[in-house]
Amino acid sequence: MCDNSSFGSTVKFGHNIKTLFRWTGSTYRLVWKEFIIYTMAYIGLSIVYDFALDDEGKKGFEDISAYCSKYTSSLPIILLLGFFTSTSMQRWFSLVHSMPGTTRVIASFVMSIKEGQPEGYQIVEQYSRWIVLGWALTFRLICKPLKRVFPTLVSLENAGLLLPHERLQLESELASNHPIVVVQWNLALLKRCNRQGLFMDFSDYQRNQDNLMTFKKSCGDTIKFAAKNIPFALIQAVTITVYSYGLASLMARQLTDEHTPTSFTIRYFPVLNAFQYFLYYLWLQFGRLAAYPFSDDENDIDIKRLLQAHVDDAVRWQSLYSSPGLTEQIVSHSLNNSSHEWMNLACPKAQRGLISEPLANGNNQESALM
């Protein structure tokens, strides 16, 4: 048997290197402008100290530098950043966990409707469209990029998600109540299906009603988490603290003797000071991104792409009712032509030979004893 541990380590190392130098969505993209400004300011202060100040001016510059060094060491920046980032990430995880999905509620309804009903496909299509419409109306309240795509209810009507008479009813309601109104439409549709006996089992009505109310709760939780944002005063306090540390670190540089080997590097290349400051700055940026994950940044949640994915899934689930023949043909063909080769993945041929050899030796020994 060959040892694949070295090969796996090499692949993992190559993947880590590729991730380290990735630009899209990276930390370098978040700080490159600020890093250039910081470096230019640092070099400018070094030039002023070396060439523009006399001995008395240098003495005052060194006093200010010593004061800034003492100031940076006394800032509670780690405590503030840790509290802010942990709060933002907890809120981000809660928000992502509460985001509603459309697959379960649509698939459950499609699979519970009897086949061959005169209005079956229209009912399935109507139910699926209202679920997607409720999802879009929910995130239209909290997501600015989606709000720009659908600025009015007329834009939703032009996209086919809304009918004219439905738009008139929604316009008479508050925007915050639009998802609830759409859920009420689906509840009325479930009630009609139950009254007409369109469900395959008597428990389908209650199960679809539970799924729909779970969907409603997820929409409400998403709006609640997005509306109750992190207090602006906390974000402002952390931002002021980080920027104050950055300004003070420009002056709190280590002034060494001119004849030391590292004097030129320390004077004109802010390696250590910039590294420490931009770690704090990245920490602040991560907290900001987590505080509002529905913006246009590439690190945010792409709600427009998610909406398109939910529309595609809804159309795919509708096909189980509109054209079930193709799916049933695939299932029947697979049953009649089943393959067992996939079980070789659990025990490849090379290993099967190694396993069969001890078994064969054991059988030979037993036959010799007999």
Share of the chain above pLDDT 90, in %: 31
Q: Given a cut of 70, is residue 255 above it in pLDDT?
A: no
Query: How far is the C-alpha of 84 from the C-alpha of 286, rounded, in Å?
Result: 10
Residue 336 has pLDDT above 70, yes or no: yes
Q: How confident is the model at residue 288, as a pLDDT?
A: 85
291: pLDDT confidence band, cut at 50, 70 and 90? confident
Question: What pLDDT sits at residue 100?
Answer: 92
**Mean pLDDT, the chain, as a whole number?**
80
Q: What is the pTM of this model?
A: 0.74
Residue 158 is predicted with a pLDDT of 94
DSSP helix/strand/coil, 113: strand
pLDDT tops 70 at residue 358: no
Residue 113: phi and psi, rounded to 5, are -85, 135
Decide: helix, strand or coil at residue 23. coil
Tens of pLDDT, residue by residue over 174-219, are: 998 999 999 999 999 999 999 999 999 989 999 999 999 999 999 9
What pLDDT is stored for residue 23 in this prediction? 61
SS3 content of the chain, % helix, strand, coil (to 5): 80, 0, 20
Facing residues of 113 across strands? 199
**What's the whole-number mean pLDDT along residues 50-68?**
82
The pLDDT assigned to 327 comes to: 67
Q: How far apart are CA 85 and CA 91, in angstroms?
A: 10
Give pLDDT tens digits for 1-45: 444 455 455 655 555 667 666 666 677 777 778 888 888 888 888
3-state secondary structure 184-207: HHHHHHHHHHHHCCCECCCCHHHH
Distance, CA of 122 to CA of 192 (rounded, Å):
13
Torsion from C-alpha of 55, 59, 60, 61, nearest 10 degrees: 90
Q: List the single range of 18-32, 64-78, 304-318 with lowest mean pLDDT.
A: 18-32
What's the rounded mean pLDDT across residues 319-324? Answer: 76
Q: For residue 245, is pLDDT > 70?
A: yes
Amino acid letter, residue 130: W
DSSP characters over 140-186: HHH-HHHHHHS-SHHHHHHTTSS-HHHHHHHHTS-GGGHHHHHHHHH
Mean pLDDT confidence for 152-158: 94
pLDDT of residue 356: 45
Q: Helices 120-142 and 103-112: crossing angle, nearest 10°? A: 170
Is-contact 45 252, C-beta < 8 A? no
Question: Averaged over 249-276, what is the pLDDT?
Answer: 62
pLDDT, tens digit (0-9, with 9 covering 90-100), for 79-117: 888 888 888 888 888 888 888 999 999 999 999 999 888
Structure tokens at 289: 């991104």
Beta carbons within 10 angstroms of residue 321's beta carbon: 21
Handedness of CA 64, 69, 74, 77 (dihedral sign): positive
> Is 43 in contact with 268 (CB distance < 8 Å)?
yes
Least confident of 52-66, 152-166, 183-197: 52-66
- For residues 242-255, average pLDDT: 76
- What does the pLDDT read at residue 267? 64
* 190 vs 321: which has the higher pLDDT: 190
